[in-house]
Amino acid sequence: MPGKILKILKNPDPILRKKSLEIPATDIGSKALTELCFSMAKTMLKRDGVGLAAPQIGKNIRVITVNTKDGQICMINPKITSKSIAKEWGEEGCLSVPKMFGQVRRHKKVACRFIDLGGEEVRLKAEGLLARVIQHEIDHLDGILFIDKAKDLKEAAEE
């Protein structure tokens, strides 16, 4: 996979608390944005993550990458368009908040739309882990960390 491993910012870096800006249509499909998406996906996989948001690598732009059973998806300007009424608790961690885990209540299902690397609008329905990851990563774009919503926060034991 092309791309390079990027440095992940750690809490309390102030960039993680900023609201990210939409990517202008003129930048979609650019070589720089495509390379950024590849590098984000490579970084996420190298760090055993299931998602990564641009603010985590120091860029306040609305781009996330998520790892699905079908492979990685780069989502440009993602928006959740609907959420299930049903919610569930689940354990979450974050590459920007190392060694911390907690229970976070999220919608069981979400529908979202985003622009793909080819500039096409994509609509996606997600449930289970994918729905959780999308909600977690979009929170990053709004300057929200999982520790803001989590209960029963605990530190992972050293291996």
Assess contact for 95 and 88: CB atoms under 8 A. no
Alpha carbon separation from 63 to 26, 51, 72 (Å, rounded): 15, 11, 13
| Cross-strand bridge partners of residue 88 | 106
Q: Is 159 a catalytic residue?
A: no
Assess contact for 30 and 37: CB atoms under 8 A. no
- Among residues 92, 137, 155, 159, which one is catalytic? 137
Q: How far is Cα 155 from Cα 109, in angstroms, rounded to an integer?
A: 28
Q: How far is Cα 134 from Cα 80, in angstroms, rounded to an integer?
A: 9
Residues identified as active-site: 137
